[in-house]
Amino acid sequence: MSDMALDVGALSKRFTLHLRGGVSFPVLEDAALVLRPGECVALTGPSGAGKSTLMRCIAGNYGADSGHIRLRHRGAMVDLVTADARLMREIRAESLGHVSQFLRVIPRVPALEVVAEPLRLRGVPRAEAEAQAAALLARLNLPERLHGLPPATFSGGEQQRVNIARGFVAHYPLMLLDEPTASLDPANREVVIALIAEAKARGAAILGIFHDSEVRARVADRLHEVRPLEDAA
């Protein structure tokens, strides 16, 4: 199985809402998915089916109840379902990139620093990290006057470009993209499509959720349908 970038199997995830009288519902049951280096797989399925939940489980942002999520980290396949917080942090710094649907802004931290942070975590010197961050923001047409400002007051599209730059600035072998083009104009959409193509060309595996069917058709090598559980049953 040495040619796998991601191997998800028997994955289950349910939510229990203790403040709603303990109501509990499954979202993923026995989910399985494999990604190989250099390919892009698009998750499809109706809204609420569990696409983001699956992606967040892989990102470590949600905890899976059972099953496995193996990815390549430091030359070995490592299971995220049982990884502790410290290992998860190391994996996020080195092996797993995630562009979430919305930028989680760090108050008062300028866009340039937000984008440079993944490189800084890898020990890249500040000047070099910020130069790469600035180049990528420029490529995504974010005006230079915004680079020094915190993204909290940016428009949705501007925040999304900061988020995308943060995800692509460091090169991860596996990337998760949750609707990366949702609020972008056509020119910036093209930039994102090019960034995805470049990442694939260097061997990165990409798992994405793309609402825009044209984008999906251009970047995805394969589709993977996430079905709502009542339909699947």
Partner 1 sequence: MSPILEGQNLALRFVAVRALDDVSLALWPGEVVAIVGESGSGKSTLLRVLAGLAAPQAGRVLYHDADGAAQDVHALREAERRTLMRRDWGFVHQNARDGLRMGVSAGGNIGERLMAAGGRHYGNIRTAAAEWMARVEMDPARMDEAPRNFSGGMQQRLQIARCLVTRPRLVFMDEPTGGLDVSVQARLLDLIRSLVAELGLAVLFVTHDIAAARLLAHRIVVMRHGRIVEEGLADRVLDDPQHPYTQLLVASVLAA
Ligand X SMILES: Nc1ncnc2c1ncn2[C@@H]1O[C@H](COP(=O)(O)OP(=O)(O)O)[C@@H](O)[C@H]1O
Q: Does 181 bind ligand X (CB under 6 A)?
A: no
Q: Which of residues 50-109 bind Mg ion (CB under 5 A)?
A: 52
Sequence-ordered alpha helix ranges (H) in the chain: 51-59, 85-94, 111-121, 126-139, 144-147, 156-168, 186-201, 213-219, 229-232
Torsion of CA 110, 112, 118, 122, to 10 degrees: -110
Binding range to ligand X, per CB under 6 A, among 33-41, 45-53, 150-158, 189-197: 45-53
Binding marks (x or -) toward ligand X, 12..41, rule CB under 6 A?
---x-----------x--------------
Q: Environment class of residue 41 by beta-carbon count within 10 Å: exposed (0-12), middle (13-18) or buried (19+)? A: buried
Q: Smallest distance from the beta carbon of 220 to partner 1, in angstroms? A: 27
Count of beta carbons in the 10 Å neighbourhood of residue 233: 7
Q: Does 88 bind partner 1 (CB under 8 A)?
A: yes
Q: Does 61 bind partner 1 (CB under 8 A)?
A: yes
Q: Does 63 bind partner 1 (CB under 8 A)?
A: yes
Q: Does 216 bind ligand X (CB under 6 A)?
A: no
What single string gives the DSSP state of each residue in 82-138?
S--HHHHHHHHHHTEEEE-SS--PPTT--HHHHHHHHHHHTT--HHHHHHHHHHHHH
Residue whose CB is less far from ligand X, 61 or 141 = 61
Q: From Mg ion, ligand X, partner 1, none, which one binds at residue 50 (CB under 5 to 8 Å depending on kind)?
A: ligand X
Q: Does 48 bind ligand X (CB under 6 A)?
A: yes
User: Rounded CA gap, 214 and 46, in Å?
Assistant: 17
Q: From Mg ion, ligand X, partner 1, none, which one binds at residue 48 (CB under 5 to 8 Å depending on kind)?
A: ligand X
Q: Which residue is nearest to Mg ion (CB)?
A: 52
Residue whose CB is less far from ligand X, 26 or 125 = 26
